[in-house]
Amino acid sequence: RRFKELSLNNIGLNRNINPIFFADASQSNSSSVFIPSIYDIRYLSSNNFAFFASFVIWVMQNATNFLSTQKIITHIGKFQDPSQFECEFGRIICNLKNERVLIIFDNIDRVSPQEAINVLRTIKTFLEPKDIKIQHKKVIFLIPCDSDHIKKHINLFYYKNNNERESEEFLKKFFNCTLNIPDFITSEIEDFTKKSLEYTKIQDLNDEKIEWIITRGYRENPRQIKQFINILIANYLLTKEREGDGKDFPKDFLSNYLPQLAKYLILIQKFPKEMNILKKNYVFNLEEANFNELFNDEIK
């Protein structure tokens, strides 16, 4: 091992001292690696300590010459044949200890019509397993989706028209069971909004007016409520920094106009095109005489 005897003799250390620090280099053909071991510096004289310190600094400065990293990337090729995937799928299912297996396909209504149909076809293949080994398993496929979007995909792909009846028949043949999720109850949405605002720990947002505005704006979508609250927080903090600077916002702007800020942000999220028209034409008063004419022309 390089440096070991030289370092021990020159620094004034012996092998009986408890290890605290020492750099030991391996003699690998590919690269050398320093292995830190420490020796008690209390046994060093002033001269030897200076040498020891110099040695440590030298090690730190030249560590990159002895250390190397290697990135290994392993690629797994795609299955060339559908039967390969089906075989692998059967193997995975058979190796599971549970007799019941639930497989969820999410966001299928957010892809292109062709991709959605291809996924449905693939699932249909596995709904009727040909492999006897996996027939004893109870495999359930759960597809949470917006049925209206799926029907549109089916119409565009198969029928090239708006034949809702044909698409409904297609889905009935495909799914063994369909569960319709009921609409959210208003009180549940209100409670969810209130708790979400409390979770922000921003006292100014715990306001009944703001809760009411958000609930009315996103009464059918809790996910959008959470997204909007994040947007509201970002704008609140930004306004808080500029409040009272004499340029953008007057003093106590948030305490007086926070509900109006929430309404404005909802309008931007709900009607981005229309709000951009107002901004582009410097229309800040909806009661201006030329507003309707300007707005209708822009929309057309």
Please give the Cα distance from 286 to 188 (Å, whole number).
34
The DSSP call for residue 96 is -
Query: Structure pTM?
Result: 0.53
Q: Does pLDDT of 193 surpass 90? A: yes
- In the chain, the percentage of residues whose pLDDT exceeds 70 is 63
Q: Are 34 and 59 in contact (CB under 8 A)?
A: yes
| Tens-digit pLDDT profile for residues 116-161 | 888 888 777 766 666 556 667 788 888 888 888 888 888 877 766 6
Q: Are 152 and 139 in contact (CB under 8 A)?
A: no
Please give the Cα distance from 300 to 106 (Å, whole number).
37
Q: How far is CA 1 from CA 18, 34, 142, 248, in A?
A: 19, 11, 62, 69
Residue 284: what pLDDT?
61
Beta bridge partners of 142: 104
| Tens-digit pLDDT profile for residues 155-177 | 877 766 666 777 888 888 778 88
Q: Does pLDDT of 35 surpass 70? A: no
Residue 290: what pLDDT?
59
Q: Does pLDDT of 6 surpass 50? A: no
Residue ranges of domains in the chain? 4-66, 82-174, 186-299
Please give the Cα distance from 229 to 225 (Å, whole number).
6
Residue 68: what pLDDT?
58
Output the average pLDDT for the chain: 73
**Residue 98, φ and ψ in degrees, nearest 5:** -70, 145
* Lowest mean pLDDT across 20-34, 76-90, 257-271: 20-34
Local confidence band at 235 (pLDDT 50, 70, 90 cut-offs): very high
| Tens-digit pLDDT profile for residues 37-62 | 444 444 445 555 566 667 667 666 66
Please give the Cα distance from 234 to 238 (Å, whole number).
6
Q: How far is CA 44 from CA 6, 8, 17, 47, 93, in A?
A: 15, 11, 11, 8, 66
